[in-house]
Structure 1
Amino acid sequence: MAEVKNKQVVLKEYVSGLPKESDFQLVEGSIALKVPEGSNQILLKNLYLSCDPYQRMMMNETISSIFGTYTLGAPIHGYGVAKVLESGHPDYKKGDLVWGYVIWEEYSLVPPTQIHFKIEHNDVPLSYYTGILGMPGMTAYAGFFEIGSPKKEDRVFVSSASGAVGQLVGQLAKLLGCYVVGSAGSKEKVELLKNKLGFDEAFNYKEEPDLDAALKRYFPEGIDLYFENVGGKTLQAVLLNMRVHGRIAVCGMVSQYNLDRHEGITNLVQLIFRRIRMHGFSVHDHYHLYPKFLEFILPLIKQGKIVYLEDIVEGLENGPAALVGLYSGRNIGKQVVVIAHE
């Protein structure tokens, strides 16, 4: 069978510090649009790609995370939405829409293990399956409810609050009846948190010379639950402002991903003094909750009780810029790259 052209984004150089667009390259490969005879693989047309903070760790030469590392000269990968063109596996058929772990290219031949779920609900934007209905949504849901053990009227702090995960955590906390404050890196994002996403308060951490003082201003009685997305100086300040028996759900530490050496954290003795439970988690351990999550979240979206901000760029060729922009906070909401519209 004749092969067709297949644009791909490959990693050209391993990254030190902040990633640059020049670390990536758009190349033109080729692929036969056919599943090999006897194979259980699935041929996909990739539609939407998710840009996520964890991908920075995969740009390092040495493996430094549970995600492994990218291979130089090979297409990068991450979460996304795709359409099945042909299937050698009985669970999938031509025309199915799926989300899972996809490759940054136009067409892919993948094993069934890379597909997480078939998309059964297409009465919401398909791009939502890169965000609120995909990995970030599951992360927010599992991290907040399963790890955070929230209670009504808890005082909740969310860092990186306008990001793909943080914006949903804040809204879930508000729906539960919590007092919620978020931090973000621009005036525009702070306004969105307060006016669009329903946070009680929000602040620009870049304008706060003393994060400890800022947290005392917003949480005079202390923090019950901190949803951790950034680490570093924010975590140090939070530890001084947690209430006794407070909980910290550790989702990410994006301030550390571009550093050659991670910053040490002081104030850890507060874990003892305040009997704080600090719990790191990975969404991979919680995908069994996905059907329950969908049942919970879909009505809230359709009723307008939860909103979701997306920052969408068109074209695989614009993927590297979108991904790199994530680490300087250029995006407003969930960063999505559209390869093709369904």
Structure 2
Amino acid sequence: MTEMMKQIALASRPDGAPTPANFRLEELPVPTPAAGEVLVRVHYMSLDPYMRGRMDDSKSYAASLQVGGKMEGGSVGEIIASNAEGFEVGEFVMGGFGWATHAAVPAVGLAKVDPNAAPITYSLGVLGMPGFTGWFGLMEYGKPKSGETLVVAAATGPVGSMVGQIAKSLGLRVIGIAGGPEKCKMAVEHFGFDECIDHYAYATASELNEALQAACPKGIDIYFENVGGKVLEAVLPLMNQYGRIPICGMIAWYNAGGLGADASQKGLTGPKLWRTILVNFLSVNGFIISNHWDRLGEFHKTVGPMIANGSVAVQEDITEGLENAPDAFIKLLTGGNTGKAMVKVI
């Protein structure tokens, strides 16, 4: 009897926010690994905002998903068959296995994961792409200095929480922005932020700007941008001269399609944006973390001990069952997760 696996495919392209109808759960035979490949049984898969952009048929830094194709994403799992030298059955690896229970993939490019060193979920979150994104963007483009003020939105997410905690360890004043009082409480009590502002409590960017002024009496030196929308509009007028803005995402605009490229909504016009950058001599750097994997070892060497001694805290939001991945992903895009969003596949 043929062993079967499950995967989730893109059933249709979303028009605005994704709905369950845009996804399809499929059942098909478990593949056999070819020469140089391994067969992985997936244990956990990551849910990340960038996946929303892949669902659109628009030009970006990576190819769009094809309708009918498997949803893509990072996962960690156990090798259950191997045709690749140096990769043994029973070892755990992390790679782009997609939204599926199994995957046969080339061993080249896979990262081995030691389940005895740390929980395997860490390879998808605090020690994986999101945590690395936060650390790299802050250190490379934020150029933090003790005594400065940093603001980061989505403060309890895996990127924002890493940014805030590293900045605190370097002597900065750290202000988070999050959705809801519970997340704000977590940012302060669990992650050690100085303050956290609930953006749900402010209907407009101008109201949020007033709250930020009170929290940042000396202005803002670094804004780690991962949200866009009214948060960006509220922050910009408070940026100090020679401030720095690393940009890794803009989740508030993703459901607008085309990666939310129209920044004119909600009052953020091109002239206003560029004039603010000009007169305040701001450094604005967009980056895609997949271009910087050569720095991953440095990140692990720096942050690994901080996780081990508890100076960097971890928060995970794990959904049970592959079939529940679409609902968890939709919730992620509206800020419904608390911590790194993942799905426990088995």
Counterpart for residue 293 of structure 1:
299
Counterpart for residue 49 of structure 1:
45
Counterpart for residue 198 of structure 2:
204
Equivalent residues of 2:114, 2:120 under 8 A apart: no
Task: Give the residue type in structure 1 aligned to 2:251.
Answer: V
**Is 1:227 matched up with 2:233?**
no
Q: TM-score, normalised to structure 2's length?
A: 0.92
Counterpart for residue 76 of structure 2:
81
List alignment gaps of at least 5 residues for structure 2: none
Please say which of residues 16-25 and 260-269 is displaced more in the overlay: 260-269
**Is 1:332 matched up with 2:329?**
no
3-state DSSP of counterpart to 1:25: strand
**Is 1:263 matched up with 2:269?**
no
Counterpart for residue 2 of structure 2:
3
**Is 1:15 matched up with 2:14?**
yes
Rounded to whole Å, the distance in 2 between the matches of 1:259 and 1:135 is 25
3-state DSSP of counterpart to 1:89: coil
Counterpart for residue 157 of structure 1:
151
Deviation, 1:93, is 2.3
Equivalent residues of 2:150, 2:222 under 8 A apart: yes
Deviation, 1:246, is 0.4
Counterpart for residue 252 of structure 1:
249
Counterpart for residue 311 of structure 1:
317
Please say which of residues 293-302 and 85-94 is displaced more in the overlay: 85-94
Deviation, 1:223, is 0.5
Rounded to whole Å, the distance in 2 between the matches of 1:152 and 1:232 is 28
Rounded to whole Å, the distance in 1 between the matches of 2:305 and 2:289 is 22
Within 5 Å, give how 1:272-291 maps onto structure 2: 272-291=278-297
Equivalent residues of 2:73, 2:97 under 8 A apart: yes
Tell me the alpha carbon deviations over residues 9-63 of structure 1, each in whole angstroms, 9 at most, x when there is no partner. 111111111111221121111124x323xx2122111111000000000111x13
3-state DSSP of counterpart to 1:56: helix
Equivalent residues of 2:146, 2:170 under 8 A apart: yes
Please say which of residues 165-174 and 233-242 is displaced more in the overlay: 233-242
Equivalent residues of 1:58, 1:64 under 8 A apart: no
Counterpart for residue 97 of structure 2:
102
Q: TM-score, normalised to structure 1's length?
A: 0.93
Task: Give the residue type in structure 1 aligned to 2:85.
Answer: P
Please say which of residues 289-298 and 125-134 is displaced more in the overlay: 289-298
Rounded to whole Å, the distance in 1 between the matches of 2:83 and 2:244 is 46
Counterpart for residue 147 of structure 1:
141
Q: Across the two proteins, how many residue pairs are aligned to each other?
A: 334
Which residue of 33, 36, 39 corresponds with 1:35?
33
Deviation, 1:114, is 5.2
Rounded to whole Å, the distance in 1 between the matches of 2:98 and 2:2 is 18
Rounded to whole Å, the distance in 1 between the matches of 2:33 and 2:8 is 22
Rounded to whole Å, the distance in 2 between the matches of 1:120 and 1:173 is 28
Counterpart for residue 237 of structure 1:
234
Rounded to whole Å, the distance in 1 between the matches of 2:211 and 2:250 is 20
Rounded to whole Å, the distance in 2 between the matches of 1:150 and 1:121 is 33
Equivalent residues of 1:102, 1:114 under 8 A apart: no
Deviation, 1:105, is 1.1
Rounded to whole Å, the distance in 2 between the matches of 1:193 and 1:256 is 24
**Percentage of pairs with the same residue:** 35
Deviation, 1:4, is 1.0
List alignment gaps of at least 5 residues for structure 1: none
Counterpart for residue 69 of structure 1:
64
Counterpart for residue 179 of structure 2:
185
Tell me the alpha carbon deviations over residues 272-329 of structure 1, each in whole angstroms, 9 at most, x when there is no partner. 1110000001111221111121121221111111111111111111111111110111
Rounded to whole Å, the distance in 1 between the matches of 2:279 and 2:115 is 47
Which residue of 124, 141, 146 corresponds with 1:130?
124
